Amino acid sequence: MSYQNILVPVDGSEVALNVVQHAVELAKAFNSKITVVQVMTLDPYIAAEYLSDGQSNLLIERARKFIEDNLAQAKAKFNEYGVDVETKILEGESIHRTIMKAIDELNIDLIVISSHGRTGFKKLIMGSVAQSLITEVNVPVFVVKQ
């Protein structure tokens, strides 16, 4: 099996960057392209004008800048290993559903994602993007635990 397009979702945390070395090794082994993404979640109440007419607001622009900085940091980490990556901001109401949509659009055949390792109440409240992807996508998911 060959993985030509690897998706690496990040969230701005140090834990999310634990995947870099693993993703690099896989990309080098399979001569794969890596796309690093972060989802900008859009609450329909706060972002109504943005969603319907493309009118931004201060909250959206601050979130976009934060995500751009996170993606630049991730790209720099990959560059340290000699791997150039594409970065992309994804927009949607649900992180895992937005990532699922990107899998089809970007022709992804492997996801490399970190897991914060939350359990109990924290997992119940915060959810697990990695767990949702494992159970719902039709491509392999390589999970790097904290």
CATH homologous superfamily of 5-145 equals HUPs (3.40.50.620)
For tokens 């719902």, name the residue. Answer: 136
* pLDDT digit string, tens, across residues 33-64: 999 999 988 766 555 555 455 565 677 788 88
pTM, two decimals, is 0.85
Nearest by Cα to 8 from 132, 123, 20, 101: 20
Residue 88 forms beta bridges with which residues? 37
* pLDDT digit string, tens, across residues 68-115: 999 999 999 999 999 999 999 998 888 899 999 999 999 999 999 988
The pLDDT mean for the chain works out to 84
